[in-house]
Amino acid sequence: MTNTIEDITTAADVIMLIGSNPEEAHPVMGMQMRQAVEHGTKLIVVDPRDIGLSAQADIHLKLKPGTNVAFANGMMHVIIERGLMDRDFIATRTEGYDDLAKLVADYTPERVAKICNIDERDLVAAAELYARAGAAAIVYCLGVAEHSTGTDGVKSLSNLAMLTGNYGKPGCGVNPLRGQNNVQGACDMGAQPNTLPGYQKLSDPAVRAKFSEAWMAPISEHEGLKSTEVMNAAAKGEVKGLFIFGEDPMRTDPDIGHVAHALSTLDFLVVDELFLTETAKMADVVLPGRAYAEKEGVFTNTERRVQRVRKAVEANPGTRDDIWIFTEIMRRMGYDQPHLTSAQVMDEMASLTPSYAGMSHARLDTEELRGRGLQWPCPAPDHPGTPILHVGKFSRGTGLFAPAAYRPSAELPDGEFPLVMMTGRVLAQYNACAMTGRTEGCNEIVGESFIEMNVADAAARGIADGDAVLVTSRRGQIRSRAHVSQKTNAGETWMPFHFQDGNANVLTSDALDPTCKVPEYKVCAIEVAKA
Amino acid sequence: MSNENLVHVTIDGCEVCAPAGETILHAALRANIQIPRLCALGNDAGVGMCRVCVVEVKGQDALVTACNTPVAEGMEISTHGERVEASRRMSLSLILAEHGLNSTNYCFSCRKNGDCQLQAVCNALGVTEPAYPIPAQDKPHRDSNPFLEFDPNLCIRCQRCVVACNERACNHTLHTAKRGARLTIEAPFGPDWDTTGCESCGCCAAACPTGALIEKRRATYRSWEVEPTLTTCPHCGVGCQLELLVKDNRVVDTRAYHGASNKGLLCVKGRSASFDFVRSGDRLTTPLIKNHDTGEFEPASWDDALDLVARRFTELREEYGGEALAAFACSRSTDEDIYMLEKMARTAFHTNNVDNCARV
Ligand code: SF4
Ligand code: SF4
Ligand code: SF4
Ligand code: FES
């Protein structure tokens, strides 16, 4: 996020929520957004589905799934046509405006309304509301990223914020809500094929030299494969050995049949886990690691806030600290890694990562930072951290408009699979339920798979609310239960991806966004029949 | 703040400057003067129900409730004294008379015993026994929600739960109702709990000063048996701050902490589903090696398992090069773990095939 939860929910005049259902996926953010709305903040919801917050919204654009780019371009078209852009901001802080203006000129409200299946007047009203606000924040989530056009979707939102000067002050910005608790940290730490810690580029020889020297080991210059590409390479026998730390791709990856094939083709699979998950069952060796309550460390939240994780209980002696496990493997493979405590690992990481350079466990443990942590960039031990990014100037100097044209989703409904399926989360469960499913009460609240469908689609298939149904896509078939309502538009359905019985990811598409290789979870074509 | 917006008052002889509109309670708290109270929650003005916070203002006949009376220029306030304390004791006695103490054997079986603010305030003010006979109460509990229950017999109608649900969690599912002249709390935990819109966040239970509205977890421990450890919720990217409450090396409950991201709020996942899995009976407790003849896992020593892992990865690396190896990091784990995993991939596996589940 460029801004903080606090400033978005107290200083924004308008919040535009896109493809995000924080009440279920980020509930405490959802509570604070409800507070904001009750205190007078205007709310625009852009979501194919009725969500709790859409009832409180000033405008709800119930657009067709997969059309976010067209929507954002349409907003910009209206803003430019009506002269509502922030000319000062554009002149002093950005470049590439002319290209953007040229591209969005084609996105007239009439055309966009047709693509997105929304009312033209709502689009214009949303553009007016957003552009005329003193401070307007965009908040988005997987609903934007999990499309084969996800990267373009994110770029278009950033264009929209720059066009209206909504960067670098309280209550504005472009704010992705990161899903898992430490996705932000995992990316920050360089668990990515093309960056080292702190987004230092692998392609930069100076960066490689710095890490080579610190680690006393050569760093390969070949950019690595992304996880979804690793699966493909494994299926082809090009990747032969895989170490999986605490993930369950057999539950959470799209097109599970393909994943199962890839993992079983590997010569050697090691899984470091708390439980014998579906993925762990396929391993050659399983190593029992430790849970967050059994270790010291930090998580980095969606606001770039680095906060402490503290050991509350002693772990079972048969398990090992994960840092210890990795260290032992390195040593046994001939790399002389000394055993370090978590605090020492953070010190080493901070010494190599400018945005974390001012952080340490000792500093985070001071009374002053208790419960607050530090937000990166925090380049020095006396630096207070950075709540809001891009104040005064962008990190790259000027902000570059990156116009993006609308492309339809990779898999569109057709005669055989006429319904669109979207996937998402529900409040009381979390991802593959490895954690929440072990609390009985959560299963009582919602413990089985279901599919939301429109009244008209249900009636056409003779399906009643609560009926058992078979859901089929090009990739597979599962059983589920129909929840019939007006929450989704006709032709569209929605399913949570938490449950092993009726796992929606058996159906989802493995079409990838060409830049960031995010699978297209949000849109795939299906058919539903009474079971 | 400009001077016109400040008012000057004295509290127990101390001169205090306070912004106009601030309550006497908050002005006093800023000057480090404590006033006992029950119904005021956090920084909000109280509903003025319990009258435990009464203070004396010079020149006014009646005592005033500090939690919802704004300061005014020149007020001379005294927060203690015989008259104030007698009034507070009287208020507490009236509250106690409605607090169905019979239903908990006079606190003995109450799950909030030792952590109850009614008990604490009574103790602090020397109310050691009820001044009036306490009528026995036997109203049915509402306890169908998996995590929460409400015992109306213990409810003192302070309405802190109402403020928590409506103004903090902003969920508007917990209301007051009128039964004749009496106010009652309509806690949405009856048999129809799953159709009420209640999110089971437990913010109401965290606000309740008594044992009336509580997390069912409370049955597994007493407040003095647990040690808190401040940590970060393991579920979503909000990063709420919470304390894990540990009894006998086992996490038995959580308590919300007022962190920068969560402001004292938690959701059902953080409050109720962030620790059972830690001690779940199906945790792995020994390395496993698959016997390829049987397809079954067999328990192994750490030494054997790690030697096998290192040997096979080294063989594959030497035969096919580092590009044939890959490692995935868990985006639920700590930054330190992820850093070390990534370092392992690059230095020992000789590969940049390292990624996390940000994309999946
Ligand atoms: S659990 Fe949360 S939503 Fe339910 S009544 Fe209590 S405060 Fe309201
Ligand atoms: S349930 Fe608790 S918080 Fe709510 S009114 Fe009764 S005593 Fe007060
Ligand atoms: S308590 Fe709820 S909102 Fe807060 S981090 Fe945990 S899961 Fe997210
Ligand atoms: S705290 Fe003031 S009346 Fe209850």
The ligand 4 atom nearest the CA atom of B39? 4
How many angstroms separate the CA atoms of B250 and B278, rounded?
A: 9
Are the CB atoms for B161 and B201 separated by under 8 Å? no
Among A364-368, A489-493, B288-292, which stretch is predicted with the lowest mean pLDDT?
A489-493
Interface of A with B in 1-30 (CB under 8 A): 4-6, 23, 25-29
Asked whether residue A371 carries a pLDDT value surpassing 60, the answer given is yes
Q: Do A247 and B251 touch (CB under 8 A)?
A: no
Average pLDDT over chain B, rounded to an integer: 91
Q: Residue B132: which of B102, B98, B85 has the closest Cα?
A: B98
Of the pLDDT bands very low, low, confident and very high (cuts 50, 70, 90), residue A430 is low
Of A227, A247, A312, Cβ closest to residue B244: A312
How many Å lie between the alpha carbon of A214 and the closest alpha carbon of chain B? 11
Of A239, A246, A287, Cβ closest to residue B326: A239
Of the pLDDT bands very low, low, confident and very high (cuts 50, 70, 90), residue A29 is very high
State the pLDDT at residue A426. Answer: 62
Interface of A with B in 308-347 (CB under 8 A): 308-314, 316, 318-320, 322-323, 325-330, 332-335, 337, 342, 345-346
Asked whether residue A417 carries a pLDDT value surpassing 90, the answer given is no
Q: Is B204 in the pocket of ligand 1 (CB under 6 A)?
A: yes
Rounded mean pLDDT, B169-188: 88
DSSP β-ladder status, B296-299 and B288-291: antiparallel
Rounded mean pLDDT, B309-324: 96
DSSP code for B194:
G
Q: Among residues of chain A, what percentage have pLDDT more than 70?
A: 88
Of A227, A327, A334, Cβ closest to residue B355: A227
Of B229, B236, B328, Cβ closest to residue A310: B229
State the pLDDT at residue B360. Answer: 41
How many angstroms separate the CA atoms of A79 and B32, rounded?
A: 52
Residue B278, token pair as written in the block: 């830690």
Q: Do B260 and A373 touch (CB under 8 A)?
A: yes
How many angstroms separate the CA atoms of B107 and B92, rounded?
A: 16
State the pLDDT at residue A219. Answer: 92
Instruction: Region of A406 please: left (phi>0), alpha (psi -120 to 50) or beta.
Output: beta
How many angstroms separate the CA atoms of A402 and A396, rounded?
A: 14
Q: Residue A44: which of A31, A65, A61 has the closest Cα?
A: A61
Residue A531, token pair as written in the block: 């079971």
- Chain B positions touching A222 (Cβ under 8 A) are 323, 352
The ligand 4 atom nearest the CA atom of B68? 2
State the pLDDT at residue A504. Answer: 62
Q: What is the pLDDT of residues A281-302, one digit of tens each?
A: 999 999 999 999 999 999 999 9
Residue A91, token pair as written in the block: 């002149």
Asked whether residue B336 carries a pLDDT value surpassing 70, the answer given is yes
How many Å lie between the alpha carbon of A82 and the closest alpha carbon of chain B? 37
Q: Residue A199: which of A186, A182, A209 has the closest Cα?
A: A186
Higher-confidence residue of A441 and B301: namely B301
Of the pLDDT bands very low, low, confident and very high (cuts 50, 70, 90), residue B247 is very high
Asked whether residue A500 carries a pLDDT value surpassing 70, the answer given is no
Q: What is the pLDDT of residues B60-118, one digit of tens each?
A: 999 999 999 999 999 999 998 999 999 999 999 989 888 888 888 888 889 999 999 99
Same topology, domains B3-80 and B102-277? Answer is no
- Chain A positions touching B306 (Cβ under 8 A) are 287, 325, 328-329, 332
Asked whether residue B188 carries a pLDDT value surpassing 60, the answer given is yes
Q: Do B236 and A288 touch (CB under 8 A)?
A: no
Query: Other CB atoms closer than 10 Å to residue A8's CB: what's the count?
Result: 27
Choose one of B148, B159, B192, B265 to mutate for the ligand 1 pocket test, by most ligand atoms within 8 angstroms of C-beta: B148
Query: Other CB atoms closer than 10 Å to residue B155's CB: what's the count?
Result: 24
Higher-confidence residue of A398 and A33: namely A33
Residue type, A195: T
In this structure, whether the domain defined by B3-80 belongs to CATH 3.10.20.740 is answered with: yes
Rounded mean pLDDT, A247-253: 67
Query: What CATH code is assigned to B102-277?
Result: 3.30.70.20
CA A48, A53, A54, A59 dihedral sign is negative
CA A288, A292, A295, A299 dihedral sign is positive
- Chain B positions touching A288 (Cβ under 8 A) are 283-287
State the pLDDT at residue B300. Answer: 96
Query: Other CB atoms closer than 10 Å to residue A336's CB: what's the count?
Result: 9
Q: What is the pLDDT of residues B127-167, one digit of tens each?
A: 888 777 777 888 899 999 999 999 999 999 999 999 999 99
How many interface pairs between A and B have CB atoms less than 8 angstroms apart? Answer: 472
Q: Of the bound ligands, which one is closest to the alpha carbon of residue B41?
A: 4
Backbone angles phi, psi at A285, to 5 degrees: -135, 135
Helix (H, G, I), strand (E, B), or coil: what is residue A160? helix
Asked whether residue A418 carries a pLDDT value surpassing 90, the answer given is no
How many A from CA of A251 to the centre of ligand 4? Answer: 52
State the pLDDT at residue B359. Answer: 45
How many angstroms separate the CA atoms of A372 and B356, rounded?
A: 26
Strand ranges for A225-282 from DSSP E: 241-245, 268-273
Hey, where are the domains in chain B?
Answer: 3-80, 102-277, 321-360
Q: Do A292 and B334 touch (CB under 8 A)?
A: yes
Of the pLDDT bands very low, low, confident and very high (cuts 50, 70, 90), residue B1 is very low
Choose one of A21, A23, A26, A309 to mutate for the ligand 3 pocket test, by most ligand atoms within 8 angstroms of C-beta: A26
Choose one of B240, B255, B257, B263 to mutate for the ligand 3 pocket test, by most ligand atoms within 8 angstroms of C-beta: B240
Rounded mean pLDDT, A372-377: 95
Q: Residue B242: which of B252, B260, B255 has the closest Cα?
A: B255
Average pLDDT over chain A, rounded to an integer: 88
Q: Do B357 and A180 touch (CB under 8 A)?
A: yes
By alpha-carbon position, which residue is closest to atom 4 of ligand 3?
Answer: B240
Q: Among residues of chain A, what percentage have pLDDT more than 90?
A: 62
Rounded mean pLDDT, A367-387: 95
Q: Can you say how many angstroms the Cα of residue A363 is from the centroid of all Cα atoms in its chain?
A: 29
Kindly state the helix (H) or strand (E) to which residue B54 belongs, with its residue range: strand B54-57
Kindly indicate whether the ipTM for this predicted assembly is greater than 0.95, answering yes or no. no
Interface of A with B in 266-305 (CB under 8 A): 267-268, 270, 273-276, 280, 283-288, 291-303, 305
Q: What is the pLDDT of residues A54-98, one digit of tens each?
A: 889 999 999 988 888 999 999 999 999 999 999 999 999 999 999
Rounded mean pLDDT, A355-375: 96
Q: List A307's β-bridge partners, or say none.
A: A299
Residue A189, token pair as written in the block: 């730490």
Question: For chain A, which domains are there?
Answer: 5-177 (3.40.228.10), 183-375 (3.40.50.740), 419-530 (2.40.40.20)
Among A19-23, A258-262, A427-431, A506-510, which stretch is predicted with the lowest mean pLDDT?
A427-431
By alpha-carbon position, which residue is closest to atom 8 of ligand 3?
Answer: B236
Give the number of C-alpha atoms closer than 13 A to the C-alpha of residue A207, restricted to the C-beta side.
16
- Chain B positions touching A211 (Cβ under 8 A) are 346
